[in-house]
Structure 1
Amino acid sequence: MTDTPVSAVMLAYGAEPYLREAVDAVLASAGVEVELVLVDNGASRESMARVPDDPRLTVVRPGTNLGFAGGMNLAVSRTSHPVVVLVNSDALVETDALSVLARHLEDPQVGIAGATILLADEPETLNSAGNPLHVLGLSWAGDMGHPASEVDAVREVASASGACMALRREHWDTLGGFPAEFFAYVEDMELSWRTWQHGLRVEVLPDARAVHHYEFSRSPLKMYLVERNRLLLLLTVHERRTLALLALPLLAFEAAILVVSVAQGWGRQKLRGWRWVLTHLRWVRARRRLVQSTRSVEDASLVRLLTDTFDPAQTPLPPAAAPLESLLRTYWRTVRRLIRPRGRA
């Protein structure tokens, strides 16, 4: 059997203590003819010096930090194979992971094939088995902390984890890759949701695995980008009726998040996110027109992928918020019935 040609893409920034291991794992992949494009987005000299000299590896140096979104766009533009696999620089793919992902993409109805992501320090525990999308735009590592044995079959997910996901280069080009304006965070959800909008499935595979040196952080910059990009996602991917039905809880949530951000010390970043959206409305409108004009699947067929329940382990709410979450669930389960296909009364 001929090995499947696969292009892996990876981004390096800062100290990158696991970069060499991540690169070695990709290059050791079995069952694929692999090339790896690594974008040096501002990695330390020490980490880049440890990268092996291998003819299958191409290092690209843009000379400035393009962010995860821009860096990955650049990396994919330098690939030459029909299947592209995004791999984090702190994720170690198992030997057959790339081959399993590539074979799964032979099904033309699959748009993105995601790996099951395991915690490096607890390899029998999940980091992500696909990421959910909350009706308010929040997302998190799905099933984190659960036993890896729970993923025993292919599952449909709102989004595959950007730590290790595969798609056909043709599909990437159709979607235009990541919106560079996102810079970092939420871009894997945006790509996955648009894949669903184009009539293709997003699935996580139990037999394609990667271990991830995952560390949760909550820096002011991260909170700014996550919150800003959450709003950009909502404003551009949903139909007008969906946004109208979500307007009331979204406005209430924005007010609540502002209070929380001030209490936690990142209130300025939250306001900065609002400011960016308001000063870039031309881009938001243009992006929305692009997304809405190229989709083929209506929201009525996608609302089943949304969740109205927070993960208490990753999005902990104060006890006083429990009644509000219950109210939100009741509201959403009522109004979602109004999201009907066009032409239906």
Structure 2
Amino acid sequence: MDTNSTTHATVVVVTYNHADFIETCLRSSLAENPAKVIVVDTGSTDGTKDIVSEKFPDVELFTMAENRGYGAGNNVGVSSIDTEFTVILNPDTRVESGCFEALLEPLAEMKNRITTPKILTYDGKHINTCGNIDHFTGLGFTRGFYRPPMELSETERLSGLSGACFALRTELYREIGGFDEELFLYMEDVELSWRAALNDIEIRYIPDAIICHDYEDIQVPAKKIYHLERGRYYILRKYLNMKTTMMLLPSLLLTELLTTGFAVLSGTEGIRNKLRGMREGLTMDINTVKKDPQTVLSKLAVKIPEDQLTYSMLDLFGKKFANTVYKLNYSLLNV
């Protein structure tokens, strides 16, 4: 790829009340010299749109009539792109020098590839995530959370991308259909990672590509449980057929115990949101995937991280036990 590869890329930033971050995000993105930066505003009321229109006349601003979610906003932005590459970027980020170039270079080597960067906390002192860990039961986790920023320094294939930032060929984004707009908030990057696996698209972590993200706490508030569980059930129903579901039943039931136990820790509101997410995820209309689920499952993580959302020795023991069950159950798939 030539030294001006970023001139073949468009950056898409979807905003909703990000006035505190959007100026830094856009200035740092424009410093990378992309062909174009598009901002899709999904109904901000805090002056975000005014900042973009007044301070960044070269940035294309799209305003959606209603907030249809992060995924839908990105789909709107990509629909107008005519460059070879697309970079999806959260608005509450700061792009470090050379990030886009590092993300784009590996895309010239392989069409079916998505690249995702090293994402640090906004102060740059810790890792937020280096790609994601997407588990075969539909769970999704950050990778390397709060470890020192110099760690995870090798490029590698991953089970999940981070929706905070990734890059791919624009044609590929359109071929696989972009984000699934049924997922309004959270889990849209997990679903996209499953779809990448289904289509034999490699997700590659690029440690030399660095952004900083406003992410300080890995905790999951009760309200978020609804979105996570709704999305998880939706993904499982979309990709798993009855035969595979029955084969994975021990793992799926165990995950129910883990997620229910976590919801209980959040009290009545956590339980209510868990049940609401379950009800909607199990009853909403879904266009199921017809391909063999093992194509997807072969590329997903078998083990869940034991150091995340762990509050006691009992939690740790439960996750170690779960990982043993997951490994044994997954082996039945012969993938």
TM-score past 0.5 threshold: yes
For the structure 1 residues 86 and 252, does the alpha-carbon distance in structure 2 shift closer, same or farther, using more than 3 Å as the test?
Answer: same
For the structure 1 residues 259 and 108, does the alpha-carbon distance in structure 2 shift closer, same or farther, using more than 3 Å as the test?
Answer: closer
Structure 2 equivalent of residue 276 of structure 1: 280
Match of 2:270 among 263, 266, 275: 266
Check conservation: 2:19, 2:51, Cα contact below 8 A.
no
Three-state SS of the structure 1 residue aligned to 2:47 is helix
For the structure 1 residues 332 and 266, does the alpha-carbon distance in structure 2 shift closer, same or farther, using more than 3 Å as the test?
Answer: closer
Check conservation: 1:111, 1:200, Cα contact below 8 A.
yes
For the structure 1 residues 171 and 24, does the alpha-carbon distance in structure 2 shift closer, same or farther, using more than 3 Å as the test?
Answer: same
Equivalences for residues 279-298 of structure 1 within 5 A: 279-280=283-284, 283-284=285-286, 286=287, 288-289=288-289, 292-293=290-291, 298=295
Structure 2 equivalent of residue 309 of structure 1: 304
Structure 2 equivalent of residue 22 of structure 1: 25
For the structure 1 residues 336 and 57, does the alpha-carbon distance in structure 2 shift closer, same or farther, using more than 3 Å as the test?
Answer: same
Structure 2 equivalent of residue 126 of structure 1: 127
Check conservation: 1:160, 1:192, Cα contact below 8 A.
yes
Structure 2 equivalent of residue 139 of structure 1: 140
Q: Post-superposition shift, 1:64?
A: 0.8
Three-state SS of the structure 2 residue aligned to 1:50 is helix
Match of 1:89 among 82, 88, 91: 91
Separation in 1 of the partners of 2:223 and 2:323? 30
For the structure 1 residues 260 and 332, does the alpha-carbon distance in structure 2 shift closer, same or farther, using more than 3 Å as the test?
Answer: closer
Q: Is residue 331 of structure 2 the alignment partner of residue 334 of structure 1?
A: no
Once the two structures are overlaid, the 10-residue window that deviates more, 82-91 or 330-339, is 330-339
Give me the TM-score of the superposition, normalised by structure 2: 0.89
Q: Post-superposition shift, 1:41?
A: 0.9
Separation in 1 of the partners of 2:32 and 2:317? 49
Percent identity over the alignment is 27
Q: What letter is aligned with 1:309?
A: I
Three-state SS of the structure 1 residue aligned to 2:280 is helix
Check conservation: 2:302, 2:330, Cα contact below 8 A.
no
Check conservation: 1:239, 1:299, Cα contact below 8 A.
no
For the structure 1 residues 147 and 239, does the alpha-carbon distance in structure 2 shift closer, same or farther, using more than 3 Å as the test?
Answer: farther
For the structure 1 residues 315 and 58, does the alpha-carbon distance in structure 2 shift closer, same or farther, using more than 3 Å as the test?
Answer: same
**Deviation readout 1:62-101 (Å, 9 max, x if unpaired):** 1111111111111111222121101110111123211221
Three-state SS of the structure 2 residue aligned to 1:11 is strand
Equivalences for residues 244-259 of structure 1 within 5 A: 244-259=246-261
**Deviation readout 1:4-51 (Å, 9 max, x if unpaired):** 310111111124311111011111114xx4211111112234232222
Structure 1 equivalent of residue 66 of structure 2: 64
Equivalences for residues 1-345 of structure 1 within 5 A: 1=2, 3-4=4-5, 5-30=8-33, 33-51=34-52, 52-54=54-56, 56-108=58-110, 110-121=112-123, 123-216=124-217, 218-238=220-240, 240-264=242-266, 265-280=269-284, 283-284=285-286, 286=287, 288-289=288-289, 292-293=290-291, 298-299=295-296, 301-302=298-299, 305-312=300-307, 314-340=308-334
Give me the TM-score of the superposition, normalised by structure 1: 0.86
Check conservation: 1:242, 1:299, Cα contact below 8 A.
no
Q: Post-superposition shift, 1:113?
A: 0.4
Separation in 2 of the partners of 1:113 and 1:143? 17
Which segments of 5 or more consecutive residues in structure 2 lack a partner in the other structure?
A: none
Q: Post-superposition shift, 1:53?
A: 4.4
For the structure 1 residues 240 and 299, does the alpha-carbon distance in structure 2 shift closer, same or farther, using more than 3 Å as the test?
Answer: farther
Which segments of 5 or more consecutive residues in structure 1 lack a partner in the other structure?
A: none
Separation in 1 of the partners of 2:152 and 2:302? 19
Q: What letter is aligned with 1:310?
A: P
Q: What letter is aligned with 1:153?
A: E
Q: What letter is aligned with 2:278?
A: W
For the structure 1 residues 63 and 318, does the alpha-carbon distance in structure 2 shift closer, same or farther, using more than 3 Å as the test?
Answer: same
Check conservation: 2:107, 2:114, Cα contact below 8 A.
yes
For the structure 1 residues 67 and 329, does the alpha-carbon distance in structure 2 shift closer, same or farther, using more than 3 Å as the test?
Answer: same
For the structure 1 residues 80 and 300, does the alpha-carbon distance in structure 2 shift closer, same or farther, using more than 3 Å as the test?
Answer: closer
For the structure 1 residues 78 and 25, does the alpha-carbon distance in structure 2 shift closer, same or farther, using more than 3 Å as the test?
Answer: same
Q: Post-superposition shift, 1:144?
A: 1.0
Q: Post-superposition shift, 1:309?
A: 3.2
For the structure 1 residues 81 and 247, does the alpha-carbon distance in structure 2 shift closer, same or farther, using more than 3 Å as the test?
Answer: same
For the structure 1 residues 242 and 328, does the alpha-carbon distance in structure 2 shift closer, same or farther, using more than 3 Å as the test?
Answer: farther
Q: Post-superposition shift, 1:138?
A: 1.8
